[in-house]
Amino acid sequence: MIDAGGIVGRHGGDGVVGFFLAEIAGTESAAARGCIEAARALQRALPDLATRSGLEPDGVVLRVGLHWGSKLFVGQVTTSGRAEVNALGDEVNETARIEACATGGLVLGSKDLLERLEGDDATALELDPARLSYTALADLPGATETARRDAPAIAVSEL
């Protein structure tokens, strides 16, 4: 995640949140590209991680939800001996809903995120945002009840 320009945010259990800030990446497009590159790198690393952990590669699954938030409040929370980056805003909850629906190891990106990609960044990812097909979160086979209740109309595409 860090190699792609992201900031590791809060983590707990087997989950982690990353932030890709346009202010750091230089543009919204570069931030979106970094986010997608990090997700792909994590997916590529899974088989080796499983093998090194003594697990069957097919038994290790990573769900990834990618979303764009322009109205987030991002900051560092520091308590005794621990510092963590966190964000507040509706998009944080929406991202959690997208991730929960990414069953079977899917990487799902929201239309809001994918529409940020411009020319060279989209080409580098081998994506054409104008030609992607989207599905409403509520219509996904793995849609959770919470996603259907809280974020049914968010358009996502499988990456």
Q: How confident is the model at residue 78, as a pLDDT?
A: 72
Is 0.75 topped by the overall pTM? yes
Is there a contact between 76 and 83 (Cβ–Cβ < 8 Å)? yes
Distance in angstroms (rounded) separating the CA atoms of residues 2 and 5: 5
Please write the tens of the pLDDT for every residue from 101-112. 999 999 999 999
Q: How many helices (H) and strands (E) does the chain have?
A: 6, 8
Please write the tens of the pLDDT for every residue from 130-146. 899 999 999 999 999 99
Distance in angstroms (rounded) separating the CA atoms of residues 89 and 118: 25
Q: Which helix (H) or strand (E) holds 37?
A: helix 28-52
Q: How confident is the model at residue 152, as a pLDDT?
A: 96
Domain 2-158 architecture: 2-Layer Sandwich (3.30)
Distance in angstroms (rounded) separating the CA atoms of residues 105 and 117: 23
